[in-house]
Structure formats: structure tokens, C-alpha cells
Amino acid sequence: MVSPAENSSATQSPPGDIVHAMRDDGSLSAEHDPGLSTQQVVDLYRHMVRTRIIDERLVTLQRQGRIGFHIGSLGEEAAIIGSSFAMGEQDWIFPCYREFGGALMRGFKLQSFIDNMFGNANDAAKGRQMPDHYTCREARWGSISSPIGTQMTQAVGFAWAAKIQKKSLACLVYFGDGSTSSAEFHNAMNFAGVFKTPSVFFCRNNGWAISVPVERQTASDTFAEKGVAYGVPSVRVDGNDLFAVIAVTRAAVQRARDGGGPTLIEALTYRMGGHSTSDDPNRYRARDELEPWVERDPIERVRRHLQAKGAWSDDQEEALRTEVDGQFREAVANAEKTPPPSLASMFEDVYAEQPWHLKEQCQQLLSGARAPKAH
Amino acid sequence: MTQMNMVQAINDALRLEMARDDRVVVLGEDVGKVGGVFRVTAGLHDEFGDDRVIDTPLSEGGIIGTAVGMALYGLVPVPEIQFSDFIWPAYDQIVSELAKYRYRSGGEYPCNMVIRTPVGGGIRGGHYHSQHPEASFIHHAGLKVVCPSNPYDAKGLLLASIRDPDPVLFFEPKRVYRAAKGDVPEGDYTVDLTKATVSREGSDVTVIAFGAMLYEALDAAVKAEEQGVDVEVIDLRTLWPLDIDTVIESVKKTGRLVVVHEAPKSCGFGGEIVSLVCEKAFYHLEAAPIRVTGWDTPFPYTLEMEYLPLSHRILPAVIEAAKA
């Protein structure tokens, strides 16, 4: 577990150094200031707030029994929005499953996301995956899998393919601290290092993998230092500092596009909620562990920054919340009145063309009795 | 036409397709300069270079995971797993990622990719160089599984597999890599991935086989003929999706079925074939179907010829089916 005290320290020797851009008073350090316009910061702030509101509303929907599940990003908005923002239009992102805010920022439509949460007929994944396992190729955003780390080697292969085809792009992959224990992390880092793929490994070190703290994932002092063994440069960044996240991700993206190969970013943040709606963090971690992180809430920090510049008012805050609430309610209403996917759709897309046995089984389903309504 | 063995025919298919389509990339352990431990990729590195014929780190999970990413990008990777016995570290990527991508993304992310890997025993390879793991892949929705028995089919099926929009596992029967020889046309042709072939026509018993065991089935058929039993031998070529029509048509003619495969018996592919035949042609059966397979043991080294379902075990099964 990374404490905020350690997190705020900037005096450790590498690779313990943690990049900060924002001082406690909301001003920016010259060294890591990404040079955003005030309007850009306002837009990013809006995306962060929007992410949090949607997160909270989805948890409520799950508690009401209207959706089956949600896996949120409470407290990790700066890490997600900042890193996704640093990716250019031609770049690609392979998500873990906790980064919907980044997808929405890159053009994934809220309605499409909510359709996925309900698994209805309009869901691009055709109701085949559980909530938060959406697909949105048009946002240059990968399809989501539940098993840990599988997207990492795929993201490296994707970046490698672009390099083989001599296309200039970077491919960022999200994963958590728990994924660094997987064989996929090793394979991905090793292949990326050997073939110098234009990859950005973005580790959201949020302290917990469901109930297991980081001390049970590794005996290393940091996750970033694992890069050394693979010949992959690495950096630790304050993951609750929007500006620092953007600065280090931009540098990694630039290195990738310039042929300099991969970078491992360890973003120090904190999972302020449970692992998912199925989890109760009070069973395994002390309630007072959360408090120092509330003080370093990534959204509050950006708001303080904007307010210090006179660029954000309480009225704007209120208007934003009303706007997002309205959009959310409308999307949910649409999703709830959309029927489930057709029975026959269960047998589509297994293969490009439906073979005889799936045609046969589809007919058996259609001509048979219907299942009781389970949920 | 040129006389080729399986290794040469597969090499020819790879060379031809790499020249035709610059999206095709070969990667794996030792596939580059040395041309693969069975020399299947010999010469490709010289011809197509480092970016398209890639010696990878020694990690099957890494090979397949990165190949899936290449396919998502739009390349057509043809990774080689050096022996199918080494494929298990990549199993999750194959059955839970590669096989599911099209489905789970509602068609947004298809994966055009062929995994080539040598299979089968009879080469004094022991447990870790001899297995024939088709059933473990057929069971997972989303994969096509191919296993040619001869050079002509190997080339045509591989070209069809590389051009197929779905992921294909291409099992190469290494016992007959060099022993199986035949005429192979120069240039481009494909063999239909949906069709089995009748290798020998007969009227009394249907024997279904594939890969190296096809030759054992054919040998048993010749010997059965000496005992007055007329055997039809079907070479499945594509194991999944199965060409059920060819199988059922034959069983309706003969009324008797023997299925042969090297893999262990229980939950093997033979069980699925027998079940399908029972569902679709039960009243045409004159005798109980018989499976002649590897035993339900790990693959043995010294006693491998006693493990394999060779002609001497197929023949009595055929006679038993015929006499029942």
C-alpha cells in the first residue's frame, strides 16, 4: 500500500522518485507542467466529474437491481482521464475494465455505454458480456476481457504490428497492480523490450487487487523498477495529479512514436471504492485508510486549481452536475425500454459464417421452451 | 505438379501467401534463420526478412498473445508453436481471447490468424513431443481445427486457413511430415475447409481418421479386404466444424462405424463423432460404434507403439464391427 505521505515525497532516489506537477496550493511546477490551456483543464475537469457522477449513478442502479454489476474508478479519475487525454487520435488504447471515463472522452457514446450496462439489443457487444465489458472500436479502444492481464500481450502485438507496417502510433495498455503478477505482464514487458514496440504500459497502482494489498503482489519496492529487468524505462507518477499524469504519459507516447520503444508508468493512486459492486472493502481494509486519500481526491485537486485561477465557479459545478444527471437519466431510460438481444443473435459471430451445428442449435433453441426469467 | 513431402508443401504455402499478402507474418521459436526445428519455415527469413519471419523469445503465451494483437491490428499472423505439447501456456490466449474476440465484440474485432503446430506420436518424443490435443480446442467455441494427412491437402488447407476470416489451429502430423509424399501443384489453390474426403470407398464399415492415423486406417482396410470386409475410409481434413454430411452419408451406406484418433479415448473427439452419428443416423447403425484411440494415460516413451491406435488395433475393430 502506498501511503499519501510516501506519495507526496519527491526526494527519494530513483526509481522511487515520484513525478508531481501540482503543488498543494494548486499551482504547477515548471518542470512537469504539461502546458494546458485553461479551457483544456476545464474540459478535463468536466470529464473527471462526469466519470465520477456516472460511477455513482451506476452503483445506485446496481443496488436497485436494475443492472447486474458495475466496476468503477472512484478516486482514479486523474490517472484514467489524464493518460487517455495524452493519447493522440491515431493512437490506440487497450483497456483493463475500469477506464470507461477515458473511452467516453475518446468518443464512446454514453448511450452505447449504458446499453452495454443493460446488455440490451443496442449493445455493440450484443448482450454477450457483463456490464463494463463494452466494445468501441471507433474510439480506438480495445474490447474488454475479465481475466487479468490478457490485454497486455495483445497491446504489445498491436503496437508491434504498427511498427512492422511502419505506421507511427503509440498503443497504451491499462492494467492494475495485481496484473503485474501475471505471466502476461512478463510476456508483454519482455516482448516489448526485445522488439522495442511503441507501447505505453500504464499501471494503475491503486493499492488493492480486490482484497489483496500490493505487498502480496510483489516484494519489489516499486512496480516501476520491474521495468529495469526488461530494459524498459519506467517512471512513477502521482496518479492523483492530473497534470503530472498527462506530462509523463505524453513523454512516453512521444518516445513510442519516435521509435524509442516502450515505457512503464506506475501511477500511484487509490481505489476509493470496492473492487466492484460485488465487493465490500470494509471486510479487509481499515476505514481510516481511506481518509488521507479523500484529502488528495484527484477531482478536488483540479477544482482547487481551477478555482484558484478563477476559472470554475459553484454555479458551473451545479450546472455540470445537472447536465450529466440529465444525460445519464435519458440514456438509462432509453436503455431500459430497449428489448434484449434476439435469441438467434446468441449464435451469431461465433464464426464469420454460421456453420451447420450452430444453425441446428439455433433452431433447437427457437423451437424449444423459453427459460424462466432469472433476473 | 511437383513431388513434395508435407514439410515442403507447407513451406510452399507459406512462401506463396507471404509473397501474395504482405499482412502475413510468421513468428515463433527458431522459425527464422534456422527455419524451424522441422525446417517448415526454411528459407522464409532470407526471402521476407526480419519483420515478417520473426524469431521470438521462448514463451508460447507471449507468441500467441502478441500474435492476437497483430491480428487485431489487421495483420495475418501465422505463429508456430514448436510442438503442440508446448501450447498450454498459450491456452488462455487461444480459447478465451482469440476464439472469443469476434463474439465478445459483436463482430467489431475479428482475428484472422493461423496457429501452426506439429502434433502426434510415433517419433520417439515421449510425453512432451507426442500429444494430439484437438479435443481441447474443438470444445471451445470459436476455433476452426484442421489436420491434413498429405502434402496436397496440407498446402491447400493452409492457404485456405490463412485466408479464412476465423482463427484456425493447423495441426501438422509430424510422424508423416517427410514420409507422406505426393504430387503438389505449383502456385495457388485451396482445399475447402468445410469438406472431408473419402480416401477409400467401401461398403461394409466406415472408418474415420485424420492426420498420421489415416495411413494406419488405410493399411487396416487393405488387410480387412483380405478377410472379405470392404472398408470405407474418411479423412476428415478439417476436424471442426466437422463435415457431418460426408460422415452420415457413409454411415448410412455401411451401417458400421470405427473412429480412430491418437488422443486419449475419454472425452476425445471420437466420442463427439459417435454421438453425432447416433443422433443423426441411429437407425442406420447395424453395430455399436467403436473407438480405436490412444489410452487414457499420459503419452509413453518406450511403449509408444503400444499406445498409438495403429493398423494392428484398427483391423480387429473393423472386423468386429463388420461381424456384429
Are A187 and A132 contained in the same domain?
A: yes
- Yes or no: is domain B197-323 CATH 3.10.20.30? no
Give yes or no for a contact between B43 and B15, defined as CB atoms under 8 angstroms apart.
yes
Confidence band, pLDDT 50/70/90 cuts, at residue A7: very low
Q: How far apart are CA B187 and CA B191, in angstroms?
A: 13
> Per residue in A318-372, pLDDT tens?
999 999 999 999 999 999 999 999 999 999 999 999 999 999 999 999 999 999 9
Q: Say whether both A333 and A372 belong to one domain.
A: no
The average confidence (pLDDT) of chain A is 94
The stretch A152-174 carries a mean pLDDT of 98
pLDDT of residue A26: 79
A8 pLDDT more than 60: no
Q: Say what the pLDDT of residue A375 is.
A: 54
Q: Which helix (H) or strand (E) holds B3?
A: strand B2-5
Interface probe for A, chosen from B105, B138, B166 (most Cβ of A below 10 Å), is: B105
Q: Please state, in angstroms and as integers, the Cα–Cα distance from residue A252 to each residue in A28, A89, B196, B231, following that order.
A: 20, 16, 52, 66
Residues of A in contact with B65 (CB under 8 A): 150, 152-154, 156-157, 184, 187-188
* A154 grid coordinates: 495483445
Backbone angles phi, psi at A370, to 5 degrees: -85, 145
Contact A350 B74 (CB under 8 A): no
ipTM of this complex > 0.95?
A: yes
What range does the domain containing A21 cover? 4-341
DSSP annotation of B128? G
> B250 Cβ partners below 8 Å, 6+ apart?
B198, B206, B232, B234
Distance in angstroms (rounded) separating the CA atoms of residues B97 and A144:
10
Q: Which of A124, A153, A183 is facing B69, going by the closest CB pair?
A: A153
pLDDT tens digits for range A269-289 = 999 999 999 999 999 998 888
- A163, A293: one domain: yes
Cβ neighbours of A162 in B, within 8 Å: 73
B161 touches A at CB < 8 Å: no
The verdict on B75 touching A (C-beta cutoff 8 Å) is yes
Summarised one tens digit per residue, pLDDT across range A99-127 is 999 999 999 999 999 999 999 999 999 99
Q: What is the DSSP string of B229-280?
A: --EEEEE-SEEETT-HHHHHHHHHHH--EEEEEEEESTT-HHHHHHHHHHHH
Two domains, one topology: B2-184 and B197-323? yes
Whether A191 sits inside 8 A of B165 (CB atoms) is no
Q: Retrieve residue A160's grid coordinates.
A: 508491434
How many separate domains does chain A show? 2
Tens of pLDDT along A201-241? 999 999 999 999 999 999 999 999 999 999 999 999 999 99
- Kindly identify which residue of chain B lies nearest to residue A188, measuring between CA atoms: B62
What CATH number has the domain bearing residue A125? 3.40.50.970
Cell numbers representing residue A124 in the block: 455493440
Reported confidence tier of residue A15, pLDDT bands at 50, 70, 90: low
Neighbour order of strands in the sheet with B257-264? B197-200, B231-235, B205-209, B257-264, B290-294
d(Cα B83, Cα A6) in Å, to the nearest integer? 48
pLDDT, tens digit, for every residue of A297-326? 999 999 999 999 999 999 999 999 999 999
What DSSP designation does B195 have?
-
Question: What was the pLDDT predicted at A4?
Answer: 44
CB-defined contacts A:B, below 8 A: 140
Please state whether the peptide bond connecting residue B241 to the residue before it is cis, i.e. omega within 30 degrees of 0. Answer: yes
> Within this chain, do residues A178 and A314 fall inside the same structural domain, yes or no?
yes
Q: How far is A369 from chain B (nearest CA, A)?
A: 20
Minimal CA separation from B218 to chain A, in Å = 28
Q: B144 φ, ψ to 5°?
A: -105, 145
Q: Which of A123, A190, A349 sits opposite B107 (nearest CB)?
A: A349
CA-CA distance, A78 to A240, in Å (whole number)?
5
Chain B CB contacts of A153 under 8 Å are 61-62, 64-66, 68-69, 93
A284 is catalytic: yes
Going from N- to C-terminal start, the domains of chain B cover 2-184, 197-323
The CATH-assigned architecture of domain B2-184 is: 3-Layer(aba) Sandwich (3.40)
Please pick, among B45, B129, B132, B261, the residue that the annotation labels catalytic.
B129
Q: What distance in Å separates the CA atoms of residue A2 and residue A264, rounded to the nearest whole number?
A: 18
CA distance B299 to A174: 41
Burial classification of residue A141, based on how many CB atoms lie within 10 Å of its CB (0-12 exposed, 13-18 middle, 19 or more buried): buried
Pick out chain B residues at pLDDT < 70: none
Contacts of A349 in chain B (CB under 8 A): 102-103, 106-107
Catalytic residue among A250, A271, A296, A301: A271
Identify whether residues A12 and A156 lie together within a single domain.
yes
Active site residue A275: yes
Q: In this predicted model, what pLDDT tens digit does every residue of B270-316 receive, in sequence order?
A: 999 999 999 999 999 999 999 999 999 999 999 999 999 999 999 99
